[in-house]
Each structure stands twice: as C-alpha cells, then as structure tokens.
C-alpha cells in the first residue's frame, strides 16, 4: 500500500516506512487512518557528500570539488593538468600518469590552473617545450607565470633553433598576420 502512495521510493525505504508507521500506530491513541509520517529523503552531492533535503538545493549547490570537475574541459585547466602531469613525470620521476581526479584534489590545483591560463594567454612558441622548460628549471611554481621566465625561454630557444625552422615559423607567422589583417599574402619581395 505504501509503495502505491510513494512510487518514487525504493522498496527498502517503503519497508522501513511501514515499520515506523506500525510502531507509531501501536503507541498512539489516534485511530489508524489519521497517523501522519514526515518523509525526509536526502539528496547527496557526489563530490563532497553533503546531503540536502530538496533536490533543487542539490542542483544549485556548488562546492569546490564540483566546480573543479565542471571546469575540466576549459583550456586553462587542460593546460594546467598537462603541466601537472609533466611536473610529476619529469621532476618527481613518476612513471604512472596522474589522473584528473588526483589533479583536482591536489593542493597545487590553483597554481597549475593559473599557469595554464598564463600559457593560454601568452601562447608561447612550442607550448610543450615551454612547459618542460619551466618544469625542469628549478624555479618555484608561483614564479612560472612571470614574463621573465618566458623571456629566458625565448632567448634560449632562439639560440638553439635551426635557421630553417626559424624561417618557417616566421613565414607562417607573417601569413597568419596577413590573413587576420586581410592583406594579400602573395606579395613577393624583389631584391
């Protein structure tokens, strides 16, 4: 009978409710038809395990672990996660790659995401090499986002880069600039 009244409840919850209502009827002097029971179903956040009475409250709830999980696909977070993995591979010597769950629970999460944002905004030459350069530079994580760090990387890269590679990169940059500015990129230089 209770399962018909409360179809959204699970079978074990209905059985528990039936036991509670039977005990209340025995101890109560009220007629059987007027016994009332307050239902409290709990909705629990899967990220922080906090419980709420209303489902709408759970849906509006935004804890730090849930926020981090929802940001997983943002570019700055993706770059920060990549830097986190490279850090543990190159510096700490971990052979097993770190998961996103480990990253999101890390105390370094905010610092790596800030670095990911820096890399996204600056758009360094060869971002993978820049991340490896920064990780192996023995500089504090908080200093990875400084312009001086990128300048040192750029100077070292320019010294080591081959002439052909530098020329290809320069032509590609000029072509991209010309496309953005709507300039004819087929202009030839007469020498």
Alpha-helical (H) ranges within 123-186 are 127-135, 147-160, 163-180
For residue 180, what pLDDT is reported? 84
Segments in the chain below pLDDT 70: 1-41, 183-191
For residue 177, what pLDDT is reported? 86
Q: Is residue 185 in a domain?
A: no
For residue 146, what pLDDT is reported? 93
Which residue segment(s) compose the domain that 11 sits in?
A: 2-60
What's the pLDDT tens digit per position in 64-95? 999 999 999 999 999 999 999 999 999 877 78
The rounded distance, in Å, linking the Cα atoms of 120 and 126 is 12
Final residue in a domain of this structure, among 37, 60, 83: 60
Sole residue written with tokens 């080591």: 160
Q: Is residue 187 in a domain?
A: no
The DSSP secondary-structure symbol of 106 reads S
Same domain, 127 and 102: yes
Q: pTM of this prediction?
A: 0.66
The DSSP secondary-structure symbol of 37 reads -
Domain count, the chain: 2
């Amino acid at each position: 009978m209770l399962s018909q009244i409360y179809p959204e409840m699970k079978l074990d919850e209905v059985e528990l409710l039936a036991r509670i209502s039977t005990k209340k009827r025995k101890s109560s002097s009220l007629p059987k038809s007027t016994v009332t029971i307050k239902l409290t179903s709990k909705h629990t956040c899967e990220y922080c395990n906090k419980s709420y009475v209303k489902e709408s409250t759970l849906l509006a709830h935004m804890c730090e672990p849930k926020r981090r999980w929802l940001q997983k696909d943002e570019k700055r977070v993706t770059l920060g996660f990549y830097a986190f993995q490279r850090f543990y591979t190159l510096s700490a010597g971990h052979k097993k790659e770190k998961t996103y769950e480990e990253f999101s629970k890390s105390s370094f999460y905010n610092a790596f995401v800030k670095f990911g944002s820096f890399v996204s905004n600056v758009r360094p030459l060869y971002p993978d090499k820049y991340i490896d350069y920064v990780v192996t530079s023995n500089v504090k994580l908080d200093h990875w986002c400084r312009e001086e760090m990128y300048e040192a990387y750029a100077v070292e890269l320019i010294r080591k880069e081959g002439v052909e590679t530098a020329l290809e990169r320069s032509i590609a940059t000029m072509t991209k600039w010309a496309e953005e500015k709507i300039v004819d990129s087929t202009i030839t230089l007469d020498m």
